[in-house]
Structure 1
């Protein structure tokens, strides 16, 4: 399926049919697999042959999901995880040793900050942060023990765009492993490997599922690096369940058509928000007012479904606005068919100090909206009434 368009690839890539010649791939709800004889079992565990042994290692459903993601991201191999954060942790833990150092963009998902700030230091793994507008400072942060360059683009929650090509050049120059969290863009909108990324990570819980049903994560990239991640994960057990893989593989089949509508809706909502007096700023990658608009147009097919905007009067005003919505959901998730509002300063990034939040671009009045697939006029109507209800912001 390598020569087909992405829309065809995600629909037509599947594991081999069974003797029943089913059209839709069945669920393989089995924890283990049988062997023909003791020699078959020995050879399988010695990895002299490629076959399923135990579903913590591989399963037809997870294999199909991984194959689709590998093709979509133009990667060589991949491994699927129980959640997006399992993918982040396991990928980093598999490749890092005590004494190693990470250089990362400070604009990151809150739980990734938690890993860097609270857990990796236990194993003597340190990090240095650079700001989204300070890519020229990255080389000054690199040490002899630096092993990984890590970033998100677009960032969570501020939807800033990083120059992936420049990050790739820096990584190659200093022999670093470049890892990009591509959750907000998905492989339909952006392929970081094309710009020099060695590994790409996704929280499949978000747009890849697209309906808020299951948790999942996946890392794809270089076969050599994935081999290390696979061996680590085979022993530590963060693998994806067959049921979730089956759901996510099916979800990928509708990803292109869903993303087209998500992005169409999001651009209209962003343009509406730009005109509102109670809002001081709006950031959406395909708005011409976005600081990295030209870069977003270069790297991304469309602007995604997430918008970050600033309510004038800060934290309490932001919370009052969210309390005033009637149609939109109040949730910490994103990428759902339903439009979702989140107030990062009091929720997903509340564990960071105010200084760290501000340095990550998270102000007290920042609202993250994940624009769903409702009719866009109804989404806008709800936001409009919520702004009107909070005129005393």
Structure 2
């Protein structure tokens, strides 16, 4: 924005005189749409408003006419309380320099008696009811405009209500909400908020229910940035495993020569911050499973009756080690994962806390996973591919 050196009154007078030249122009003349929009949107003087209107009147584009569409003005951040305090108007009507309190442009002082009489007649013809009727919509427009600039109409809610609403967001939505407006930032970027988020992210999923902020310089924000954790909500972890099998040919084999037999399956894990995990082993791709998980979490579909294979389990996190338990009707499953560090995640093209290596996979019909006492413990070969986090706003 370029600041002008001319006074606001001189700039307003120049804009008014230029507007009189194009009174026949409905959009660009005095009192037209663009003129009213500029006066309503900005607090300041416009140094190139006349040039832009002349280019429009001549049918020239900014490149052809040498003008430009950018409006250089002296912008001043306007707050509702500041506007009402400066103007002394309880209705909150915004008056731009060069305008009167009733929204009409103030004419320069003229010593002609005839012009003075006409001005007095026109001003006396406006009743008090008309002024009040015009002030009410202006006040509502100012309130809605300020609310939209601060993050939308929800910002009109009381702070305690907004704090309660933000508490239902998943942990990773706070970063996006902090970029909406400075008003929302007070609910997402304070140490009190970081403390609440750390309690949600670590206490329920950690094996040892302790935060230890002193290990991170007493800052909960530093803890949230450096301490490993499982991403909860807003998506799920998925692993794709593909293996080419050798075809055993005999007299009953009907597979044509040259065909390739490939076995593909997926494992999906949706971690909830309460310590529960939704697990699924299926051959369906993510495009089919993500809507299914969304319906399960919304409680609109009984997937077990449909034979989807989705089961609820539990999980624990200890440093970077993640242990998952899930129960099927025929046996129990235990999987050990490891949250990748920054170097591993970068080499596997994963974000921070978005990749987990598959370390161990075992099952037991009795649910006993002790290596010394269990008699039905079965160990499985684990794939080298990691679990990757797939973000989805429906989850």
Please, what TM-score do these two structures have when normalized by structure 2?
0.19
| TM-score, normalisation: structure 1 | 0.19
Larger % of helix: which? 1
Q: Which has the higher contact order (CA 8 A, sep 6+)?
A: 1
Structure with greater Cα Rg: 2
